[in-house]
Copies of this chain bind each other. A is one copy, B any other.
């Protein structure tokens, strides 16, 4: 993606434009799938782990990325494709984790179905994670 577009995305979210941030953002856009901090470290070796860590946190805060729950213990992050802001993350799509290659993807077109919970419980966010085999691994 052209550098100008990357910068405008950062600007839109009121983040200072730095090399690390544009590179991280670009990687997320290129890859299309969810990435962990380790993925970033591996593919953007130029930057310190801590800087990548803080970049992820900035992006979370800003609403550029969302955190994807999973049982493996390593946090993964996906691009917010819809308009998200720090206080209003707005995600409603299913996540898919491939048991073969380990990749996690956002299935943007698949909405999380409506559910009900017992009396007394208040719903704030609903996450749905599908484990299985992705098309590339089938």
Contact partners of A131 in chain B: CB under 8 A:
123-127
- Docked-complex contact B138 and A115, CB < 8 angstroms: no
Contact A110–B115 (Cβ < 8 Å) = yes
Contacts of A134 in B (CB 8 A): 120-121
Question: How many residues of chain A have a CB within 8 Å of chain B?
Answer: 37
Q: Is A2 an interface residue (CB 8 A)?
A: no
B residues near A49, Cβ cutoff 8 Å: none
Residues in A88-138 with C-beta less than 8 Å from chain B:
94, 96, 99, 107, 109-110, 112-113, 115-135, 138
Q: Does A29 contact B (CB under 8 A)?
A: no
User: With a CB–CB cut-off of 8 A, which chain B residues contact A128?
Assistant: 112, 115, 126-129
